[in-house]
Amino acid sequence: MAEPRMLTATGARGEVQVNRVLRNTYLLLGMTLAFSTLVTFVAMAMNAPYLGFFPTLVGFFGLLFLVHKTADSAWGLATVFLFTGFLGYTLGPLLNLYLSLPNGVALVGQALGLTAGAFIGLSLYAVATRKDFQFLSGFLVAGVFVIMGGVLINYFAEIPMLSMVISCVVVLFACALILWETSSVIHGGETNYIRATVGLYVSIYNLFASLLHLLGVFSED
């Protein structure tokens, strides 16, 4: 009779831990989104220059590596704000470019609305259904190489149609990553809320930037 009670207690502790990680993840995600938004507004107000393709790429992967390296230490929170602040800065020149278009304000607003709606909808679906989306792991790994290969090719070839295709693929990739990351926390695969936060933040960032690009293309701006 002791074994069922022990299993029940173990399951209850596991559920409490999952809920704690999920709560901390969304709390930190909200804080990093607010911080990066502030940095974006500062960069826009200062008319900050675009860093360039390769410096941005090096900064992104370098800081992402640093976050994962320190996620289990006291430096984890500092590096995650450094990473999201850097990405917030990179959005400044991009938004200034789009806001200079005739219907730029509408484009940015639509991209924000679609991004928020997609993230909330996908997160609620994953949390409510408790479905395990770990089967997407192979797709996500392949997607990283496909996207990076396409980005590098398009950097040198500058093919407008390829750029649009890449943005469409990134939108699908970001949505899949939101489902995968949320599911990973729910099912105990990810127990570090800093790593979970960074995964969700990158998904939101890429989803917003890609939707903004697609809306700009379809509006002929």
Residue with tokens 């127990």: 191
Centre a 10 Å sphere on the Cβ of residue 171 and count the other Cβ atoms it contains: 21
Exposure b/e, 40-75, CB count within 10 A at least 16 = b: beebbeeebeeeeeeeeeebbeebbebbbebbeeee
Q: What is the DSSP letter of 48?
A: P
3-state secondary structure 117-175: HHHHHHHHHHHHHCCCCHHHHHHHHHHHHHHHHHHHHHHHHCCHHHHHHHHHHHHHHHH
Distances (CA, A) of 91 to 4, 75, 81, 210, 212: 53, 25, 15, 12, 11
* The pLDDT value given to residue 2: 47
pLDDT by residue for the chain (221 residues), tens only, comes to 445 554 443 455 567 777 888 899 999 999 999 999 999 999 999 999 998 888 999 999 999 999 999 988 889 899 999 999 999 999 999 999 999 888 889 999 999 999 999 999 999 998 888 888 888 888 888 888 888 888 888 888 877 888 888 889 999 999 999 999 999 888 877 788 899 999 999 999 999 999 999 888 877 65
* The pLDDT value given to residue 7: 40
Residues in contact with 133: Cβ distance below 8 Å, sequence separation at least 6, in sequence order: 126, 176, 179, 180, 182, 183, 184
Q: Which two tokens stand for residue 19?
A: 């809920």
* The pLDDT value given to residue 66: 94
Which pTM was predicted? 0.89
* The pLDDT value given to residue 46: 94
Rounded CA gap, 22 and 15, in Å?
A: 10
* The pLDDT value given to residue 151: 86
Yes or no: say if 87 and 203 are a contact pair by the CB < 8 Å rule. Answer: no
* The pLDDT value given to residue 161: 86
Rounded CA gap, 106 and 2, in Å?
A: 62
* The pLDDT value given to residue 211: 93
